[in-house]
Structure 1
Amino acid sequence: MTQQPHDKFAKQFLEELLAPLGEVKVNKEVADAARFVDVLFSPAPQAQATNLGLLGRIALMNTALLEPFSNQPSRTEVRNCFLKLFTVIADAQRKANREDTTIPEDSLARLWIISPSLSKTLLADLEVKLDSDNWPSGLYFFQNCFRGAIVVVNELPVTEETLWFRLLGRGAVQRQAVSELVALPRESRLRKNVLEIVYRWRISVMTQTELTQDDQELIMNLTQAYEEARTAAVQEGVQQGQRQVVENLLRFRFGEVDEELSKVVDSLLQLSAEEFTPMCLQLSREELLARFSH
């Protein structure tokens, strides 16, 4: 099945963020004319999402259908999203009937349509409403029995809680979110993993001969993240190369890099090649251990 660049990026992005919390199925086929849910997520028992903010809160409520759009969805696309939701709910209810159990209403799957923006006309037609007492601005809910909501990205508050949704926005909203992503602590696992997704996605997209205006905008918006990821990849490659050099020098001198010698490698890597090379070749094993093992 052909995937557009934004579609592929959004699915990989959401899969990466949600995978530690439970089961993620990308392009999940459901019955009734072989409809595909963009991302179907089922939370694992006892899962926690302390770093995912609003996305984590939504994901851990119950089974979630996440349908990201690169542009405002049409009325037909909204209806198609609900067809997928109703099919998933019907499947769950049939399974419960076979097992002679019941599914509480609050445990049924929910639909979350993610749109970069939404016109006042469509908002009025859909008759969705805010829930300011329980949710931030930008989340519009359908009537309770429909178990669905639209996340309007450009209306979300600019906070850490909404970062992962704002990365799926457009224009200035997405560029601001990318800046926040890059500014996260370098030791952040999510930062590193998302930057790697951006890096791989950018490389794959640049091999395509025909790009739409939306694709080109996404490339521009993710440029800062791509450059950061590329720099990190180069640095990691240099560090790995230097480690290999140090270990090879130690093997040349002492035959192997055992557990004791491996403890001095990190310390030697803090030095320049001009400094660590003569030390590896001239100092004895005992001198290296005495100087660097601690």
Structure 2
Amino acid sequence: MKRTKSCRICRYYEPDENFCAVAPNYIGKAHLCADFELGIELDEEEEPIDLKTFTYEQFSKAYLEKLLSPYGKVETERTLTIPPSPDIDLWFAPKVSELPQELGLLARLAKTRVLLEPYHHPVTPDEITVSLMKLLEVRGEFHRAADREEDSAGLNVPRLWILGSSISEETLEGFGAKASPEEETGIYVMAPAFKTGLVAIDELPNSNETLWLRLLGRGKVRHQAILELVALPAHHSLRLVSLELFYNLLSSLEALPEKDDEDRLLIELLRSYQVEDS
């Protein structure tokens, strides 16, 4: 990864120009910061990619995009305006007043503008912190746009939902997240001002309402959800879409150089249904 050029004093990042945009006398691009000194470009070692995590998380984003795209605008890996902020995993803005009931819990989570951050592994405090930083940056974008348009009354900032295969009690307590009294077991919310909720997928009850989120779980939770998915009527639109994505995941898992028992069990399960569907 190559660092972008920046002012060593104020740390403003601008990858395309050698200037500092926060100088007191800044007008257009004509003036430099009085203390401007160009940061040095350094080639840094790329962090190795965890292929397994990448494979599962790409599946999660493709799956959510496929389910939600008929009902609104979906952006995966949406870039934030202030680099080097990490990209949003999935952004959804509904274009319908109400999502179909067959999406169950997912429809309720995505009824307004929302950031969705899926994690195949147990969510860590650091990952929650990064997700919150993304939300705060998006809220900043909304507030700046409202200021430009002088329309703060119509401000409708999005919510953040973090979807984890599991979330430890210690992690939940660390962020002050409480079980939502209005939702199923496994749904936690932070203080209202944060507009943030967390879904512990392994705690969700087995029901049609939670099926489409339990398919993003792992181990026994995902196995049970796949059995329920296959048991749906053959003409069910979401059944077909979901199985196609799982068969794509199967191809990716088969190509992994290293597999654990969980991967092998999932591969075996998906192969059996792929043969039946062919």
Please give the range of the TM-score, normalised by the shorter of the 2 chains: 0.7 to 0.9
Whether 2:242 is the aligned partner of 1:200: answer no
What residue is the counterpart of 1:176 in the other structure?
Answer: 224
Alpha-carbon distance in 2 for matches of 1:218, 1:162:
23
Against the structure 1 CA distance between its residues 137 and 169, is the aligned structure 2 distance closer, same or farther, given a 3 Å change threshold? same
What residue is the counterpart of 2:30 in the other structure?
Answer: none
Alpha-carbon distance in 1 for matches of 2:124, 2:146:
33
What residue is the counterpart of 1:284 in the other structure?
Answer: none
Alpha-carbon distance in 1 for matches of 2:99, 2:135:
24
Against the structure 1 CA distance between its residues 103 and 93, is the aligned structure 2 distance closer, same or farther, given a 3 Å change threshold? farther
Against the structure 1 CA distance between its residues 230 and 18, is the aligned structure 2 distance closer, same or farther, given a 3 Å change threshold? farther
Whether 2:171 is the aligned partner of 1:122: answer yes
- Which of 80, 84, 99 aligns to 1:48? It is 99
Whether 2:72 is the aligned partner of 1:11: answer no
Alpha-carbon distance in 2 for matches of 1:109, 1:119:
25
What residue is the counterpart of 2:136 in the other structure?
Answer: 86
Aligned letter for 1:50? Q
Structure number with the higher helix fraction is: 1
Q: CA deviation at 1:225?
A: 4.0
Question: Quick check: 1:166–1:177 contact (8 Å CA) kept in 2?
Answer: yes
Question: Quick check: 1:113–1:150 contact (8 Å CA) kept in 2?
Answer: yes
Against the structure 1 CA distance between its residues 226 and 188, is the aligned structure 2 distance closer, same or farther, given a 3 Å change threshold? farther
Q: CA deviation at 1:223?
A: 4.1
Using structure 2 for the length normalisation, give the TM-score.
Answer: 0.76
Question: Unmatched 5+ residue regions in structure 2?
Answer: 2-48
Against the structure 1 CA distance between its residues 228 and 142, is the aligned structure 2 distance closer, same or farther, given a 3 Å change threshold? same
Alpha-carbon distance in 2 for matches of 1:63, 1:218:
34
Q: CA deviation at 1:51?
A: 1.2
1:1-294 matches, cutoff 5 A: 4-32=54-82, 33-60=84-111, 62-102=112-152, 107-132=156-181, 134-211=182-259, 213=260, 217-218=262-263, 220-221=265-266, 223-232=268-277, 234=278
Against the structure 1 CA distance between its residues 95 and 9, is the aligned structure 2 distance closer, same or farther, given a 3 Å change threshold? same
Question: Quick check: 2:143–2:152 contact (8 Å CA) kept in 1?
Answer: yes
Note the aligned Cα RMSD (angstroms). 2.0
Question: Unmatched 5+ residue regions in structure 1?
Answer: 235-294
Q: CA deviation at 1:27?
A: 0.9
Against the structure 1 CA distance between its residues 218 and 98, is the aligned structure 2 distance closer, same or farther, given a 3 Å change threshold? farther
Deviations 1:118-156 (A, max 9, x none): 222222212111122x21111110000001011011111
User: Percent identity over the alignment?
Assistant: 32
Q: CA deviation at 1:220?
A: 2.4
The runs of at least 4 aligned residues of structure 1 exceeding 4 Å deviation read none
Deviations 1:24-82 (A, max 9, x none): 1111111331311111111113353221000011111x111111111222211111000
Question: Quick check: 1:25–1:40 contact (8 Å CA) kept in 2?
Answer: yes
Alpha-carbon distance in 2 for matches of 1:210, 1:175:
20
Deviations 1:150-206 (A, max 9, x none): 101111111100001111112111111111011111000110011011112211332
Against the structure 1 CA distance between its residues 89 and 116, is the aligned structure 2 distance closer, same or farther, given a 3 Å change threshold? same
SS at match of 2:88: strand
Alpha-carbon distance in 1 for matches of 2:138, 2:264:
34
Alpha-carbon distance in 2 for matches of 1:83, 1:117:
21
Using structure 1 for the length normalisation, give the TM-score.
Answer: 0.72
Alpha-carbon distance in 2 for matches of 1:222, 1:165:
20
Question: Quick check: 2:76–2:90 contact (8 Å CA) kept in 1?
Answer: yes
